[in-house]
Amino acid sequence: MKHEISELEWNDYLDGQAPVELRDHIEAHMIGCLECWEFYERLSEATRELGAASEEARLGLPLEDRRMHAMLRGIFSRIKPAGMKSQVEGRLNLLEEVLAPFCGAQAAQSALEAAAQNSPARSLDQVTPENWEPFLDRLSAIAGAMCGATFAGLIRESGRL
116 and 96 in a common domain: yes
Domain count, the chain: 2
Q: Is 127 exposed, middle or buried (0-12, 13-18, 19+ CB in 10 A)?
A: buried
Residues 56 and 96 in one domain: no
* Domain membership of residue 37 as a residue range: 7-60
Backbone φ/ψ region at 2: left (φ over 0), alpha (ψ -120 to 50), beta: beta
Q: How much is the pTM?
A: 0.50
2: in domain: no
Q: Over the stretch 103-157, which tens digit does the pLDDT of each residue have?
A: 888 888 999 999 999 999 999 989 988 899 999 999 999 988 888 888 888 888 8
Task: With beta carbons less than 8 A apart as the criterion, state whether 117 and 82 touch.
Answer: no
